[in-house]
Amino acid sequence: MTKWITIALIIVCCGTSNQHSLYSEETGNSAETIIVKDIPYRDHKTNKVLTEYMQERCRLDVEYPSNDAGFATIVWFHGGGLKSGERSFPERLRNHGIAIVAVNYRLFPKAKNPDFIDDAAAAVAWTFKNIESYGGDSQKIFISGHSAGGYLTSMIGLDPSYLKVYGIEANAIAGLLPLSGQTITHTTIREERGLPRSQPISDKFAPIFHNRKDCPPLILITGDRELELWGRYEENALLARLMKEAGHQQTKLYELDGFNHGTMVNPGCDLVLVEIKKFLDD
């Protein structure tokens, strides 16, 4: 796969962001954005049992334009290896007239597989069922996240069974845009089974296990293959190849030359915005 040089892209995105400022002084942005925090996305209607840990972690924040309607939404899952991390709004995704839903989910070892995947599905389902009350368009919901968040993005988008539990069709997602996510069975899931990091497996908890022709558009973004986490680019390249072999016509793979696993987030978010604009303009 040819490497993509993104310097010009980054300059364009940064240079135009001030034209779309929507953020309030209360949060360091203009008064035209509203932020609603600490919303539980699970309740007793969908869960017979809500543990204390579920009530603590299964929450999200929403940032959305206050003077617009029909806007797109990005559901964002944080990274941290399924072991750590906190929800936040990625700065490079803000200021573009779209809503961001920043999600927390349960973490290993308090949570076991597939709790965190189920949480991700529940949060996306909440977004589908509630974003219109904030002015958004439920047909313009995109899913993204970095590292473990990228893994969750791919899992709930490629394996429709998780969202089906909550009455949502995975194919209703407007686009999947994982940043540097694992596409084989996640390292932490293998750790839970007592397997070493160096023993890769691909079972039903691997996004590549669920490659299929009829899924939402898939934009895979990684850092430089020589600077990324071990095998991360290659995993994504394999998924891209399998998706194309399956007949999926809207899979793209980007490799960000010169960026490692951590530094690829900002240019990766720039690409997310560019790809979402393409989808919305079609």
Q: 50-67: per-residue pLDDT in tens? A: 999 999 999 999 999 998
What is the mean predicted confidence (pLDDT) over 149-162?
Answer: 98
Question: Tens digits of per-residue pLDDT, 81-138?
Answer: 999 999 999 999 998 999 999 999 999 999 999 999 999 999 999 999 999 999 999 9
pTM of the model: 0.90
Query: Across the chain, what does the average pLDDT equal?
Result: 90
Helix or strand run (H / E) with residue 149 = helix 148-158
SS3 at position 177: strand
Domains defined for the chain, CATH in brackets: 7-281 (3.40.50.1820)
Strand partners, 146: 179
Is the predicted pLDDT of residue 1 greater than 70, yes or no? no
Look at strands 71-77 and 175-179 and give their pairing.
unpaired
**Tokens 């089906």 belong to residue:** 164
Look at strands 136-146 and 71-77 and give their pairing.
parallel
Is the predicted pLDDT of residue 6 greater than 80, yes or no? no
Helices 148-158 and 115-130 pack at an angle, to 10 degrees, of 70
Report which listed range, 11-15, 17-21, 196-200, 201-205, is most confident.
201-205
Question: Tens digits of per-residue pLDDT, 226-281?
Answer: 999 999 999 999 999 999 999 999 999 999 999 999 999 999 999 999 999 999 99
Helix or strand run (H / E) with residue 35 = strand 33-40
DSSP string of 185-253, one letter each residue: S-HHHHHHTT--TT----STTSGGGG--SSS--EEEEEE-TTTSSTTHHHHHHHHHHHHHHTT-S-EEE
What is the mean predicted confidence (pLDDT) over 12-32?
Answer: 38
